[in-house]
Structure 1
Amino acid sequence: MKKILITNDDSFEAKGLSVLIDAVKDLGEIYIVAPAFPKSACSHSLTITKPLRFIKLDKNFYKLDDGTPTDCVYLSFPEIFDGKKPDLVLSGINHGANLGEDVTYSGTAGGAMEGALHGIPSIAFSQVLKSFDNPPSEVNWENAKNIARDITKKVLDGKITIPHRHILNVNIPNTKKIKGIKATKLGYRLYGNDAHKHTNPRGEEFYWIGLHPLAFKEENGSDFDAIKNSYVSITPIKLDITGYEALEKLKNEINN
């Protein structure tokens, strides 16, 4: 039986985590290691400045106090798998989209990336919380559950392959009827700045970073385009982030 490690960045209590567990619980031997507290936007960060502690919650279910998704995957090898590795790493289901360059911030993607670094096929799942073309509504978690199960099963059965040191970044639209699944590229996210300056009761100033709108450049074939049109987006992401076109240009420039 395949061993499947599940983590997330919304904490061990997150709805998306319970949905993902329920989706794949009969596809293999399930292990869960999740952060004790929400770790959104922690990216692929590893904790090296303080000790971390596993707290067992149930059979094969642990929270890591006070760890990131990357810590959860990294430390599971010696603690949970006795120095071995699981067959698959799943991260999510995130409460919110991870589209375009937002994957560089994403703790959900970071957990999957840690699996990929160790040669383990890994998938990051995210649920878009607002639809682009419908009024905001409650998330249809049953859709998310079915999509996560279908993709995970196809990976385990070899019908979808994940190349070495790649992850699959999956985003699920918030719509009642999903039209299908599309293989996509990362889109071009348009960024602003939503920093709020406040003063605490002692008169000290502080900033609180907000959440600016999910704006993007219109591009056919992008993950944004798929989600906007009610399709699930699957984007393969490789950990080698070298800019190869720029590399060739740079070689010519430094040699001239």
Structure 2
Amino acid sequence: MKRILITNDDGYQSPGLLALQSALSPLGHIMIVAPASEKSACGHGMTLTRPLRFVEIEDDFYKLEDGSPTDCVYLSLNALYQEGFMPDLIVSGINIGSNMGEDISYSGTASAAMEGVLHGIPSIAISQVLQDKNYFGFDFELAKQSIYKIAKKILNHTYPLGAREFLNINIPQISPKDCKGFKITELGIRAYGNDAHVHRNPRGEEYYWLGLHPLAWNERENNETSDFEATKNGYVSITPITLDFTARNRLRTLEDWISGGFNE
């Protein structure tokens, strides 16, 4: 039987996580390890300054007290699985809200998939585009159907990517019958603004609360291939992500620049 580890960054009670469990259960044995509380935008952070504890919710379902999504994957592989019996697939999600463009650098959802491929395990991050993140009446049906098809193809055939590469999937907020299919995309260029709100507590001390940026992006010449455009136009976006951050097209430029010396 295939082994699937699932996690998220919205916390162990997220309806997206439970939808993911429902979608993938027919494909193999499911282990759930998720943060005890929401860890959105925590990035690829690992906890080194305090102890972490698994709390069993039910058989093969744990919350990790004070843990990040990265912690969930790292500790699961080292504490809950035995050598030779590692997961065949790691899936992170279904995130409440999109993870497109440069947002994946903040994303706990994407970071869990990053951690998975660092350990050599095929991994997927899947997110549901929502206009209102507080709307929990959504049934995730298109997301469930999509992740089932993709996970089944990986488990029954081959992983389509190389080492240290994972799939980042974003689901448009439409019904399955209105979906135009899958589109292979690249990360778009996210448009950010200032959404820091200043307040004062009852003692008069100033503090800031960071809000949500609107889902906006910048146009570019081949914009039709971006994850933003794909979901906007009714496609499921699938983006291959590599963890090699080297700007290879700048290596020669940098060599020339440094060889010029530092004389003013």
Cα shift readout 1:44-86 (whole Å, capped 9, x = no counterpart): 1101111110001111110000100000000012221035531
Aligned to 2:167: 168
Q: Is the 8 A contact 1:8 1:91 kept in 2?
A: yes
1:225 aligns with 2:232: no
Q: Is the 8 A contact 2:164 2:243 kept in 1?
A: yes
**Matches of 1:41 and 1:164 in 2, distance apart?**
25
TM-score by length of 2: 0.92
Q: Is the 8 A contact 2:15 2:136 kept in 1?
A: no
Q: Give the C-alpha shift of residue 160 in structure 1.
A: 5.2
1:1-256 → structure 2 map (5 Å cutoff) = 1-83=1-83, 85-130=86-131, 139-158=138-157, 161-176=160-175, 177-218=178-219, 219-256=223-260
Q: Is the 8 A contact 1:44 1:70 kept in 2?
A: yes
Cα shift readout 1:154-186 (whole Å, capped 9, x = no counterpart): 111226512211010000000131111000000
Higher gyration radius (CA): 2
**Matches of 2:166 and 2:15 in 1, distance apart?**
23
SS in 1 for 2:47: coil
SS in 2 for 1:25: helix
**Matches of 1:82 and 1:205 in 2, distance apart?**
50
SS in 1 for 2:138: coil
Amino acid aligned to 1:139: F
Q: Is the 8 A contact 1:42 1:105 kept in 2?
A: yes
SS in 2 for 1:11: coil
SS in 2 for 1:201: coil
Q: Is the 8 A contact 2:93 2:127 kept in 1?
A: yes
Among all aligned residue pairs of Structure 1 and Structure 2, give the percentage whose two residues are the same amino acid: 56
**Matches of 2:255 and 2:16 in 1, distance apart?**
46
**Matches of 1:137 and 1:188 in 2, distance apart?**
28
Amino acid aligned to 2:168: N
Amino acid aligned to 1:66: D
Q: Is the 8 A contact 2:186 2:226 kept in 1?
A: yes
Q: Give the C-alpha shift of residue 248 in structure 1.
A: 2.1
